[in-house]
């Protein structure tokens, strides 16, 4: 994403109250409806599922400037993944 696009997103989200999370905190649980859309100003968030054998399968790592969960926001897709802060 270009710096100008990030600047525009910052302007939009700057008007909202920021939420801070500690490292290792689960912010979205599989099976739960997300509380809304997140814009990642700083830090990293991993999205993962857990296999039947209990193994964690990382799907994506979001970085500053990313917005998630997009599929839920656009299509009302059922959330089947965990989102956990990495930093």
Mean pLDDT to the nearest integer, 43-55 = 96
Query: Of residues 51 and 77, which shows the higher confidence score?
Result: 51
User: Is the distance from CB of 83 to CB of 26 less than 8 angstroms?
Assistant: yes
pLDDT digits (tens, 9 = 90+) for 29-38: 999 999 888 9
The CA–CA distances, whole Å, from 54 to 43, 46, 59, 68, 72 equal 26, 17, 15, 25, 25
pTM strictly above 0.95: no
């Amino acid at each position: 994403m270009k710096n100008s696009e990030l600047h525009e997103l910052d302007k939009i989200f700057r008007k909202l109250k920021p939420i801070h999370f500690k490292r290792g905190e689960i912010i979205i649980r599989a099976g739960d409806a997300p509380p809304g859309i997140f814009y990642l100003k700083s830090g990293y968030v991993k999205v993962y599922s857990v296999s039947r054998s209990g193994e964690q399968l990382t799907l994506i790592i979001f970085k500053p400037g990313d917005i998630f969960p997009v599929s839920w926001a656009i299509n009302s897709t059922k959330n089947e993944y965990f989102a956990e802060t990495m930093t």
